[in-house]
Amino acid sequence: MLKYRGFTLIEVMAVMAIVGVMSAMVFTSLRSGKEQKSVEGEARKVAAAIREVQNYALTGKQIGGSVPCRFGVEALTAGDAQIKSKESHRTGASCSSGASIPATISIITLSNGVIFANDLDYDFFFTVPRGELDPNGNVTPIGLRLSKGATTYSVCVYPGGQVKDVSGAVCP
């Protein structure tokens, strides 16, 4: 008697179906991981820009020969792809909240489809020389939410001056 060795058509189709399902699962998880890394990277870039503005306040960096009072970040609206920093300087012996250098100190542009997910309807500033968040009547952390698809990261600025990026939409 002859014995044939090999696989039947049904066995081959079952293996191909299993491989197809597993491939779909792997590709889906890789795509969401790429989205997460993209938002995380942009959140770190924004946090670094805010820390740079805070460092200007700590060092009292002079721009254009004026004596600074505070350095801050401009108000943002949801969807904006830029963060702008600016300076308020002294007029005479006191600090004036309305006076600012007309030139923008720096602009950080978000990329890879990441957007700001919330409106920041006020400017926030770091005081010179301590680099603390100028409370402006607010004692809660300021949270800048960045998102792409279903992934959200927050850049949190605390009243004491701490700046950190965290996963999720809420600052702890």
Taking 80 as the threshold, does the pLDDT of residue 62 lie above it? no
The mean per-residue pLDDT over the stretch 96-105 comes to: 54
The mean per-residue pLDDT over the stretch 52-72 comes to: 80
Per-residue pLDDT band at 103 (split at 50, 70, 90): very low
Q: In the prediction, which pLDDT does 60 show?
A: 79
Taking residue 84's Cβ as centre, other Cβ atoms within 10 Å add up to 18
Q: In the prediction, which pLDDT does 132 show?
A: 84
Per-residue pLDDT band at 4 (split at 50, 70, 90): confident
End-to-end CA distance of the chain: 75
Residue whose tokens read 């850049």: 155
Per-residue pLDDT band at 70 (split at 50, 70, 90): confident
Between 10 and 66, residue with greater pLDDT: 10
Domain extent listing, the chain: 10-167
Tokens of 120: 């920041």
Q: In the prediction, which pLDDT does 102 show?
A: 43
Q: In the prediction, which pLDDT does 13 show?
A: 94
Per-residue pLDDT band at 3 (split at 50, 70, 90): confident
Taking 60 as the threshold, does the pLDDT of residue 19 lie above it? yes
Taking residue 7's Cβ as centre, other Cβ atoms within 10 Å add up to 10
Instruction: Specify the CATH architecture of the domain 10-167.
Output: 3-Layer(bab) Sandwich (3.55)
Q: What is the DSSP string of 91-159?
A: ETTEEEEEEE-SS-SEEEE--TT-EE-S-B-S-EEEETTT--B--TT--SPEEEEEEETTEEEEEEE-T
**How does pLDDT run across 114-149, given as a tens digit for each residue?**
888 887 766 788 888 888 887 666 677 888 889 898
- How many angstroms separate the CA atoms of 81 and 68, rounded? 27
Average per-residue pLDDT for the chain:
80
- How many angstroms separate the CA atoms of 161 and 134, rounded? 9
**How does pLDDT run across 23-37, given as a tens digit for each residue?**
988 887 777 678 889
